[in-house]
């Protein structure tokens, strides 16, 4: 991959446990491979517990907690899925405010699988077209978004570009789109 993200710092916001591991690690690798600096942001310090669907997987060290993270320190945001991860994050006011901050600042956001639950709680999907895991479809529509069944959707209708995908099978397209869109944000 070309060094398109050279110098960009990308926040990966995750709960203390419940993140779908591949939806964290594969976008992370894409950011690193293109010269970006991924940083793991969570509600608690220490490590986060990832999952392979319902089975415990690896743990990952937290780089910075939400208490210390500032939107202006990052160029873009990735929201990995897993059912428990966004379900927890949408109940944490600081996490919701962090997500809102990226949209208010016009910075790109990428969300996969169930992660649009956090976007819905942040009230940033109205008028946007996006995708998600199919079980989130009604939630997207009820929040004023247009849900489509596509492997990756790039919505540029607001000040922030929003990149969404449905599930781990869509990771190649999701990763390519987030690298392309995050690189454009630097310009």
Indicate which residues carry an active-site annotation. 113
List of long-range contacts for 53-56, beta carbons under 8 Å, 24+ apart = 53/20
Which residues face 162 on adjacent strands? 109, 155
Answer yes or no: are the C-beta atoms of 71 and 9 closer than 8 Å: no
CA distance 64 to 88: 18
CA distance 140 to 146: 7
Q: Which residues of 30-52 are buried (b: 16+ CB within 10 A; e: fewer)?
A: bbeebbbebbbbbbeeeebbbbe
Answer yes or no: are the C-beta atoms of 140 and 120 closer than 8 Å: yes
The sheet that has 9-14: what strands, in order across it?
A: 64-65, 37-42, 9-14, 76-79, 109-112, 162-165, 152-155
């Amino acid at each position: 991959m070309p060094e398109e993200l050279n110098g960009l710092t990308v926040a990966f916001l995750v709960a203390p446990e419940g993140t779908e591991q591949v939806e964290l690690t594969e976008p992370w690798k894409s950011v690193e491979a293109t010269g970006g600096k991924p940083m793991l942001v969570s509600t608690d310090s220490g490590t986060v517990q990832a999952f392979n669907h319902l089975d415990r997987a690896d743990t990952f060290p937290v780089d910075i907690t939400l208490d210390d993270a500032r939107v202006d320190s990052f160029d873009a945001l990735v929201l990995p899925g897993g059912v428990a991860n966004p379900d927890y994050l949408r109940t944490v006011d600081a996490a919701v405010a962090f997500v809102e901050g990226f949209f208010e600042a016009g910075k790109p956001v990428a969300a996969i699988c169930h992660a649009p639950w956090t976007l819905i709680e942040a009230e940033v999907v109205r008028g946007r077209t996006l995708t998600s895991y199919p079980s989130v479809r009604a939630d997207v529509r009820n929040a004023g978004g247009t849900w489509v069944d596509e492997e990756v959707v790039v919505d540029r209708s607001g000040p922030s570009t929003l990149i969404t995908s449905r599930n781990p099978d869509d990771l190649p397209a999701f990763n390519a789109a987030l690298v392309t869109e995050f690189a454009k944000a630097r310009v």
